Structure 1
Amino acid sequence: MKKLLATAALAVAIAAPAAAQTRPDQAKFFELYKELVETNTVVNVGSCTQAAEQIAARMKAAGFKDDQLTLFSTPEHPKDGGLVAVYPGTSKKAKPLLLLAHIDVVAAKREDWTRDPFKLVEENGYYYARGTADDKAMAAAWADTLIRFQQAGYKPKRTVKLALTCGEETTWAFNGAEWLAKNKRDLIDAEFALNEGGGGKSDGHGKVLVQSMQVGEKAVQNFRLETSNPGGHSSIPVPENAIYELADALVKIRGYDFPLELSDTTRAYFAKAGAARSDAMGKAMVTIATNPGDKGAETLLNTDRIYHSMLRTTCVATLLEGGHANNALPQRAAANINCRIFPGHSSEEIQKALATAIGDAKVTITMVPPVRPIAKPPALDPKVVGPAEKLVAKYFPGVPLVPTMSTGATDGIFLAAVGIPTYGVPGAWGDPDGNGVHGLNERIEVRSLYTGRDYLFDLVKAYAEQE
């Protein structure tokens, strides 16, 4: 998914703190994590419902009562269920905190992988299997945190809620986070939520370069471009050709750049990340944060594909179809355009912008379901960012915490749409190559998993003590 961290250029680095599975609580956590990773939760193949039930059983064994645990699914999607758990706080004034994680994973074929993708294997300091990083590490850490609270008899001021959901990895699937937001808003009500999307970036050799906190994300929307024509025999061609008309439209989209924009998050990112660099790119980053109209700075930043995407809405052709026979003029041609929409803009706005860029009424542009809500970035709230920054300084001395806007997408967009600001938290880190997330041989560094777990436990406690 979805977790492109625009952080590779930051220069500060430290050795990642050591963490080994030596404490009794780590061994218990590993049991939960291993069971979750080895439960196949690929849509239409595995079962998120089974995984949610297994976690609920562990929470009940730890002392959670039935009325604190809500297992949910729909008759139409019995295997795409999830779990909401509620750990009560003592304050009548403090609003709840929500912990969100998805438990579904991207498909993985055994014949393509070096190891069985649904058997957790430890090799050379890494855990390998589908979901070891995305997103079962976070799901296991959240569930483990509440189990530890229960076993310790901890009494937080805030109520802490947990929502484990299915459907994040598959656009057309039943989405548990969206369903909860629309149908069980009171159950998941919270002042703010913690989610995936943040985290650390290492140099691939054991040094953490930066930690990030996702404060906002783009909205994903697909559009179908289509052209049609009566067609005819290919031996007597005419200029009005559906494939040519579609191709002309695609060339115009390729050449169109949406206007540069900054949010509070991206402005803070470019200022802070740019100040950490001593090259021309760093200077351009600082410049654009203070003067978005500087064309020289924009031109240089646009040479970096991540920065280019962070500065605007982007749309790109991803699928193509056309024609019906080798010896016939095409009667129809179509393409899918995948857009990542900058926060604050609707899908309808982008549809109109594409139509203007193409400038050909013969090209129809339709939104492909599902239609995502408008992305609403949360505030750079010191009440949220402050504790995360303080704990980054504790766990990763000298490493900056940088606010980022994800150019990908998470289920946080559904919570934001119903008034629950959602933040992607720091903690565990990944390597520059992406750790095989969504690809082959997905992995997470063992130290990253256990250190990230400890970081998240402390972070939840910090928020739980707030009034």
Structure 2
Amino acid sequence: MTIRAVTAVGLLSVAMPALAQAPTLRPDQVRFRGLYQEMVETDTSITTGSCTALADKIEGHLKTAGYAADQITRFSVPDHPKEGGLVVILPGTSKTLKPMLLLGHIDVVVAKREDWTRDPYKLIEENGYFYGRGTSDMKAMDAIWLDAMMRFKEQGYKPKRTIKLAFTCGEETSWVFNGAQWLAKNKPDLIAAEFALNEGGGGRSDGHGKIAVASLHVGEKNAVNYRIEATNPGGHSSAPVRDNAIYELSDALAKLRDYDFPLMLNETTKAYFAKAGAARGGDELGKAMIAIAANPQDKAAEAILNRDKGYHSMLRTTCVATLLDGGHANNALPQRAGANINCRIFPGVSPADVRQELMKVIADPKMTVSEAETRGPVAAPPPLDPKIVGPAEKMVAKYYPGVPLIPTMSTGATDGIYLEAIGIPSYGPPGTYGDPDGNGSHGLNERAIVNSVYTGRDFLTELVKVYAEGPR
């Protein structure tokens, strides 16, 4: 999952119905819709589903399209048999161009039928939307990748650059088994590529089904959890003292609440604030965005941007308390009190440096700060490579005339970090788009805009072919 950082660029905060007539489908779109439906209706959640079951179906489609057994690699581990995935390869003709990699996670967040208006594991089309778990995160793109690879093979297309496609499980539950991480560690040669196309890009609609901003996902934060803890000999509650673990923890959390990590910009976020600010048409927030891109020391501009939680997060590392525990009895002074601190670390900053900063902010030698869990390696932001950006800009101009393409750094997380750790820069291309409210991703009644899915399919298939032919 990625929480896209394209905060509403002058758009509505609540999505309105798409109000679009269902398009008359071409025969090729009918088959694509069937693939999309099969993916959505195959439960791949960690509790009740199976990624392996969906990978079985995907392998069957690939073989029907003409892929040989030696072009498809299945993978799983014995203790996670339901979390398997696959890699398929369409060989290129060039001996000099390096491969490209398409990445898609096929697992989804758990959905409970009793909480949803509709069955979450049925693809239901209503009023210009596809409803169902995974419709937007990220089975639309998965279906597009699979459909493109099938059509390339069936049409006899021979790209100059080898095209690889990896379907993995565990992006939504990386604490169990993460397929992208496993491939990067155990099969790096299998997925080796000059660059990868992944989730995280796309765009935002105006709330009425029309795209207003296209985004190219370039880099993301690193998610790390820390535990801060106070300990104490304790004692009887009838004789309280100031030296109390819960009070010490409370003081530490108050300091953390009031602390902002220093403002940081990189190539991607600087371009984002400059372009997104210009797209706002001269309002206060837009002017502040342009100003901060030009001068990161502009405190007045920073103060304005900090009012928006999305922009505040894009500008720095953030840390927030998410879980609390403490004490052991109603009538005893607490011997221990602790909190989980969830940090989203700006690309290039090490978890060790953040731990040191937390210790400095808390400034209490009686408290400990330890790293509890790291989702993955330190995020390494890919460059704004003209060979990636240029074709994406041309494709946006073709499919969405007049819509700006804005590079975006995610404040969330994707599996791209595992690829970047082994030297494969990962980008989230534009093509599809969603509503300003996020389309229920990870929540109830998840949906995708019908026209976005079909147009995005044509867009992304053409974009893949442009990249596959190499620089021109």
Query: What is the TM-score normalised by the length of structure 2?
Result: 0.96
**1:125-155 deviations in Å (ceiling 9; x for gaps):** 1111110110111111111110010111001
Once the two structures are superposed, the pairs formed by residues 236-255 of structure 1 within 5 Å of their partners are 236-255=239-258
Quote the Cα distance in structure 2 between the aligned partners of 1:224 and 1:359: 15
Partner of 1:322: 326
Partner of 2:15: none
SS at match of 1:434: coil
Name which of 190, 194, 218 aligns with 1:191: 194
Say yes or no: does 1:173 pair with 2:176.
yes
Name which of 56, 80, 101 aligns with 1:98: 101
Quote the Cα distance in structure 2 between the aligned partners of 1:414 and 1:204: 34
- The structural deviation recorded for 1:239 is 1.1
Say yes or no: does 1:235 pair with 2:238.
yes
Partner of 1:340: 344
Once the two structures are superposed, the pairs formed by residues 346-385 of structure 1 within 5 Å of their partners are 346-370=350-374, 372-385=376-389
Quote the Cα distance in structure 2 between the aligned partners of 1:38 and 1:325: 48
Say yes or no: does 1:119 pair with 2:125.
no
**1:11-59 deviations in Å (ceiling 9; x for gaps):** 7xxx999872511111111111111111111114311111111111101
Give the aligned residue type for 1:201. R
Distance 1:16 1:354, change over 3 A: farther
Structure 2 unaligned runs (5+)?
12-17
Say yes or no: does 1:430 pair with 2:434.
yes
Maintained 8 Å contact 1:86/1:162: yes
Maintained 8 Å contact 1:181/1:418: yes
Quote the Cα distance in structure 1 between the aligned partners of 2:164 and 2:410: 24
Give the aligned residue type for 2:9. A
Quote the Cα distance in structure 2 between the aligned partners of 1:77 and 1:198: 30
- The structural deviation recorded for 1:261 is 0.6
Partner of 2:48: 45
Say yes or no: does 1:399 pair with 2:399.
no
Maintained 8 Å contact 1:281/1:301: yes
Give the aligned residue type for 2:275. K
Quote the Cα distance in structure 2 between the aligned partners of 1:144 and 1:330: 59
SS at match of 1:268: helix
Maintained 8 Å contact 2:184/2:418: yes
SS at match of 1:46: coil
Distance 1:5 1:402, change over 3 A: same
Give the aligned residue type for 2:169. C
Moved over 3 A (4+): 15-19
Maintained 8 Å contact 1:3/1:198: no
**1:54-82 deviations in Å (ceiling 9; x for gaps):** 11110101100001101100111111111
Quote the Cα distance in structure 2 between the aligned partners of 1:452 and 1:91: 28
Partner of 2:392: 388
Give the aligned residue type for 1:232. G
Query: What is the TM-score normalised by the length of structure 1?
Result: 0.97
Quote the Cα distance in structure 2 between the aligned partners of 1:45 and 1:231: 44
Quote the Cα distance in structure 1 between the aligned partners of 2:338 and 2:110: 27
Percentage of identical aligned residues: 66
Maintained 8 Å contact 2:419/2:426: yes
SS at match of 2:464: helix
Quote the Cα distance in structure 1 between the aligned partners of 2:339 and 2:429: 36
Name which of 396, 419, 422 aligns with 2:423: 419
Partner of 2:208: 205
**1:243-296 deviations in Å (ceiling 9; x for gaps):** 111111111111111101110001111111112221121111111111111111
SS at match of 2:114: coil
Quote the Cα distance in structure 2 between the aligned partners of 1:6 and 1:243: 39
Aligned length: 465
Distance 1:368 1:45, change over 3 A: farther
**1:307-340 deviations in Å (ceiling 9; x for gaps):** 1111100001111111122222212111111101
Give the aligned residue type for 1:5. A
Say yes or no: does 1:81 pair with 2:84.
yes
Quote the Cα distance in structure 2 between the aligned partners of 1:284 and 1:435: 28
Name which of 50, 61, 65 aligns with 2:64: 61
Maintained 8 Å contact 2:19/2:128: no
Maintained 8 Å contact 2:228/2:339: yes
Quote the Cα distance in structure 2 between the aligned partners of 1:248 and 1:326: 21
Partner of 1:463: 467
Of 270-279 and 184-193, more deviation after overlay is shown by 270-279
SS at match of 1:257: coil
Quote the Cα distance in structure 1 between the aligned partners of 2:201 and 2:103: 13
Quote the Cα distance in structure 1 between the aligned partners of 2:178 and 2:398: 36
Maintained 8 Å contact 1:201/1:210: yes
- The structural deviation recorded for 1:2 is 2.5
Partner of 2:14: none
Structure 1 unaligned runs (5+)?
none
Quote the Cα distance in structure 2 between the aligned partners of 1:325 and 1:213: 52
Name which of 159, 163, 170 aligns with 1:160: 163
What RMSD over aligned residues (CA atoms) do the two structures have, in Å?
1.6
- The structural deviation recorded for 1:389 is 0.7
Maintained 8 Å contact 2:257/2:320: yes
Give the aligned residue type for 1:180. L
